[in-house]
Structure 1
Amino acid sequence: MDPHRVILGEADLEGHNTDWLGMVRGASKVLLKPRNTEEVSTILKYCNDRRLAVCPQGGNTGLVGGSVPVFDEIIISTSLMTEIESVDRLSGVITCQSGCVLEALDQYAAEYGLMVPLDLGAKGSCHIGGNVSTNAGGLRVLRYGSLHGSVLGVEAVLASGEIVNCLSAMKKDNTGYDLKHLFIGSEGTLGIITKIAINCPPRPQAVNLSFLGLQTFDDVLTTFREAKDKLGEILSSCEFIDSSSMQCVEENLKLKPPIEPHPFYMLIETSGSNSSHDEEKLSSFLDYALGSGIVTDGTVATEPSRMQHIWSLRERIAEALVKDGYTYKYDISLPHSEFYKMVEDMRNHLGTGVIRCCGYGHIGDGNLHLNITTQEFDKNVLNQIEPAVYEWTAKVNGSVSAEHGLGFKKRNFMHYSKSLGAINLMKQLKSLMDPNGILNPYKVLPET
C-alpha cells in the first residue's frame, strides 16, 4: 500500500480516534486507506493471521461509539473507496463502492432522474457503506422503508480475507439464504462491506413541505393518522419536534421557526410527479386539519431555500444539543400510544438536575430521539437514566435501538429487546464468521 495511505501521526489520527459527539475515544496508532476490495482483503488476511483487531470506519458520524476503536485497533477507512460502478436507469439500481458520501451519491443519482432512498442530517459526510452497516433509517423510512428493503446486494470481506460476493442487482433473487442481510445492520462485526447495489426510486418532480404547530401530543397522533389517510401515496415524511427541542435550536443555533411558539411541531412532506395534484391534496388536508382544530397554525414551503430552512430546524437539533454541554442520547422505537409518555416520565424522573429533557424524531415510524443534557458529564445523572430508560422501553415492547445501532455504548442493553436465544444465535454467527474476534471488537454483542 502507498505510504500516503498509511496514517501514523498522532495528530492525523485524532479525528479518527474520537466520535462526532466527542464522547468516545480510542487509541489507534495506525489508519489504513484501501482503494478497493482486494486491498481490504489483503489487510484483513494479514491482521487475522496475526490476531490484530481492526475497526472499520466510514464518515465517523455514528452516535453509539461503533465507528471508533475502543483500544488500539487498526482503523480501516473507506474514504478512498468512492467509485460509482454502474447505474441502470431502467431498473433504478446503482452499484457503488462503500466509501461514497451519501449526499454526493444522491447528487449523482439525480443526474439520472433517481434518488437515494435515504436522507440523514449527516448526509454531507456519512458514507453509504456505514449507512448500510448500521441500517441507517433517516427521514423517509415512512415512504421508502429501511435499507433491508432498498439494498439489493452487497460485497463484503470476512475476517479471514475471503471476499463474499452477494452483489446481485436483481430485485427478485430467491436462491438460498439471503446472506446480504447478515451484513446490513451488523456494524462491521461480521465483515467489512466494500460494494453495494441499491434500488433508487425516481426522483420526485414536486415536493411540498408543511410546518405545523399543535397544542397536544394527541393532536400530533391525530394529524399523523389524517395525513396517512388524506395524503396517501404522496406522503414522504412525517417528523415531530417538541417545544424543548425547538427552544434548543433557537437558543443555541439562532434559528427561528416560521410560526409562533407551540408545545409541539410537525413537518409533513409530500413528494410526487404532479405538482398541481399534490398541492391540491396537501391543501385539502391542511384545510381539514386547521378547520377541525387539531392543528392551530402552519405554513407551506415549496421553494428550495425555504424548505431547507425548515428542514434545518429538525436536522440540526443534535448539533444544537451538543452546545448545551454533555448529551445523553437515546434512539428508541415505541408504540405510538406510548411515544411521548417516555419523554414526560423521564422529565419528571430527572427533575431539575438536568438542563433539558426533550424528544423529537420520526413519528411516521415510531422512532423517538430522547435527549437529556447537562453542563458536563454527570455519572449520577447517567445512573438515573440507565437502565430506567431501557426498562421503560422493554415494558411497552419497544426497541432500545431504532436506527443508530448498538455500537460500544449500547451493546450491554441488547437483552431489553432481544431474547437470550436470539443473542446466543448472534454470538454463534460471530464466532463462525470471525473466529478470532478481530472485526470491530467490543461492539454490538453484549459482554456476557
Structure 2
Amino acid sequence: MIKSVKSLVQLMGKSNILEQVRYASQALPQFSSEKYHIKRKNFGTIESADIGFFKSILSEEQVVTDESDILPYNIDWIKNCRGQSNLVLKPKNTEEVSKILKYCNSRRLAVCPQGGNTGLVGGSVPVFDEIVLSFALMNNIVSLDDLSGSLVCEAGCILETLDNYVRERGLIMPLDLGAKGTCHIGGNASTNAGGLRLLRYGNLHGSILGIEAVKADGTIVDCLRTLKKDNTGYHLKHLFIGSEGTLGLVTKVAIHCPVLPNAVNLGFFGVESFDNVLKLFKSAKSNLGEILSAFEMADFDAINSTVNSLNLPKPISDFPFYVLVETHGSDETHDNEKLMKFLSQEMETGLISDGTVTSEPSKMKSIWNIRESIAGSGLTVGYVFKYDVSIPQKNYYDLVPRLKTRMGDKALLIYGYGHVGDGNIHINVVVPEYNSEVASLLEPYIFEEVSKVNGSVSAEHGIGFRKPKYIHYSKDPSALQLMKDLKQLMDPNGILNPYKVLPDGPN
C-alpha cells in the first residue's frame, strides 16, 4: 500500500556519488591510444619555450607541469580512458583562454578542454599529449536578473553551486544531474547535457540564452545575449552547444532559470512489468499534466545492486521495476489533490503495486540519491560498459533482456534505467574487468540495434572519444559531411579536442 516515508537514513558522508567512487580502485587504466589503437596526429610537441610563453601570460600556479599533479587530469572518472598530457593550463578569464589558443594554433599544439571531468565517453581527457585546458578557475557568477530569470556565469561554475545561488533568489537551474556537485556549466553546455528534469524544463538548446566562446585561432565569439527572443540571423550559440569543444571553447553561459516551485512532491513506486511502466507514464502525462517534472525508471538490478553495494536505504520492497514521479507546482493543495487522485486511480488499476510518497526535502533527497547513485555504483564491483542511447518509448527496454541473453555468464550484471519521458535509457554492463571479447559482443551490436528503431547512439552524454566510429548509425552521410565542413572552417588545424566527436576518413 502507499505510505509516507518514515525513516530513510541519511546517506553516506559525501553527497556526490561521483566523489565516492571516483577513486574506488587505485589501478591506472591503460593508455587510450594503446587500448583503442589510435595513431597520434601531426601536432606539434611541447617544448621548454612553450612552457616559458605560458608562464609569461599566466601565473606560476596556473601552469601545472608536475607529473603527479597532472595525473587526475589524464584519467576520466570511470577509469576507462587515460591520456598522456604533460601540461595543464588553468586560465582565469576569457582573455587568457584567447591568448592560449592563439599561441597553440600558431604552433599546432593540440588542446583538450576540461571542466569537472564527469563525462562517460572520454571527451574531457586527452588521448595523447594534448594540453589540458582546465576551466576550474573560471568560476565567477557575472549577473542574475531575477525578473527575467537570466543568469550569466563563467564556464567553470559548478552546477550545484549555481543552483544553490539561484534558489536563494527564488529560481532554480533548469538542469539537474547526478554529477551536479562536480560538473561545470561549460561542460554541460558543450555536451548538451540532458538530466533528470528535461521532461519539464527541456534541453539546453532551449534553456541557454547566449554563449561566449573562443575559436581555435583565439577569436572571441560574443553571443552572450540574455533575450528569450533574438531572431537576428544564424543562431550561432547552437554551434557550440553539444559540440564538445571541437568548434570552440565555451567561456561564459547565459541561461534561463525557471521560478522555484512552491510545491514539490516525489513518489517512488514498485511496478510489475515494463508494459505497466509505459502505461503509468501515459497516465501521469494525462493526470498530472503541467506539474509533472520527472518520470524516471530503473529495473530491479539497477536499484538492488546500488543499495547493496553502497549500503543505501531502500524505500520499498523488491519489484521488477521502479518508477520515480516528481511534480513541481505553485499550489501545494492543488498539486497534492492531483497527485493523490493519480495514485488512487493507478493503485486500483494495478499499475502501481506499492510505493512511498513524500514532500519532505530530506526524504526526497534520500530517494533521489538512490537514483543518482546508480551511475557510479557498478564501479565498486568491476568494470562497467556504459551506454547512453535514445530509443522510441515503445522499444525503450527491449535491449536489456536481449543483452542478457547475448552475454550469458560473461557479465556480472546488466541493467537499465533512465528518463522514460524523453526516451533516454542508460544500459550498464558490469564485468570483473575490461575484456576485449566482451567489448566486441557489445559494440557495434548495441548501436546497430538502436539504429534499427531509428534511435540515437548518444542521448545526453555526447560522442566524445568513445563513439566517433559509431556516429554514422545516427547521422546521415550528408549531415556528417556538413559537420566536418564546419570543423574545417572553425578549426582548420584541428587542434581543438582532437580524436573526439567526428570520425576520421570514410565510415
Task: Confirm or deny a common fold (TM above 0.5).
Answer: yes
1:19 aligns with 2:70: no
**What is the match of residue 195 of structure 1?**
252
TM-score, normalised to structure 2, is: 0.88
**What is the match of residue 28 of structure 1?**
85
Deviations 1:186-215 (A, max 9, x none): 000000000110000001111100000000
Paired with 1:164 and 1:54, the residues of 2 have a C-alpha distance of: 18
Paired with 2:268 and 2:147, the residues of 1 have a C-alpha distance of: 35
Which residue, out of 219, 237, 240, partners 1:183? 240
Identity of aligned residues (%): 57
Aligned-partner residue type, residue 28 of structure 1: S
Deviation at 1:350, TM superposition (A): 0.9
Unaligned runs of 5+ in 1: none
Deviations 1:390-432 (A, max 9, x none): 0000000000000000100111100000011110110000000
Deviation at 1:247, TM superposition (A): 1.6
Aligned-partner residue type, residue 167 of structure 2: A
Deviations 1:88-107 (A, max 9, x none): 11110001111100000011
Paired with 1:312 and 1:93, the residues of 2 have a C-alpha distance of: 28
**What is the match of residue 402 of structure 2?**
345
**What is the match of residue 103 of structure 1?**
160
**What is the match of residue 267 of structure 1?**
324
**What is the match of residue 483 of structure 2?**
426
Paired with 1:4 and 1:390, the residues of 2 have a C-alpha distance of: 44
1:42 aligns with 2:99: yes
Deviation at 1:153, TM superposition (A): 0.4
**What is the match of residue 167 of structure 1?**
224
Deviation at 1:257, TM superposition (A): 1.8
Which residue, out of 141, 146, 159, partners 1:89? 146
**What is the match of residue 303 of structure 2?**
246
Paired with 1:411 and 1:106, the residues of 2 have a C-alpha distance of: 32
Deviation at 1:251, TM superposition (A): 2.1
SS at match of 1:91: coil
Aligned-partner residue type, residue 304 of structure 2: Q
Paired with 1:301 and 1:392, the residues of 2 have a C-alpha distance of: 38
Which residue, out of 422, 435, 452, partners 1:395? 452
Aligned-partner residue type, residue 441 of structure 1: P
Which residue, out of 218, 227, 247, partners 2:284? 227
SS at match of 2:366: helix
Deviations 1:147-199 (A, max 9, x none): 00000100000000000001111110000100000000000000000011000
SS at match of 1:412: helix
**What is the match of residue 352 of structure 2?**
295
Paired with 1:392 and 1:5, the residues of 2 have a C-alpha distance of: 46
Deviation at 1:313, TM superposition (A): 1.1
**What is the match of residue 73 of structure 1?**
130
SS at match of 1:316: helix
Give structure 1 regions of 4+ aligned residues with deviation exceeding 6 angstroms. none
**What is the match of residue 203 of structure 2?**
146
Aligned-partner residue type, residue 257 of structure 2: C
Unaligned runs of 5+ in 2: 1-57
Paired with 1:170 and 1:308, the residues of 2 have a C-alpha distance of: 33
SS at match of 1:398: coil
Which residue, out of 109, 122, 143, partners 1:52? 109
1:129 aligns with 2:189: no
Aligned-partner residue type, residue 226 of structure 2: A
Structure 1 window deviating more from structure 2 (35-44 vs 317-326): it is: 317-326
1:441 aligns with 2:498: yes
**What is the match of residue 369 of structure 1?**
426
Deviation at 1:333, TM superposition (A): 0.2
SS at match of 1:11: helix
Which residue, out of 98, 106, 116, partners 2:173? 116
* Structure 1 residues 320-331: aligned runs within 5 Å: 320-331=377-388
Paired with 1:22 and 1:352, the residues of 2 have a C-alpha distance of: 23
**What is the match of residue 366 of structure 2?**
309
Deviation at 1:111, TM superposition (A): 1.9
SS at match of 1:425: helix
Paired with 2:459 and 2:137, the residues of 1 have a C-alpha distance of: 29
Deviations 1:359-387 (A, max 9, x none): 00001110000110100111111101111
**What is the match of residue 462 of structure 2?**
405
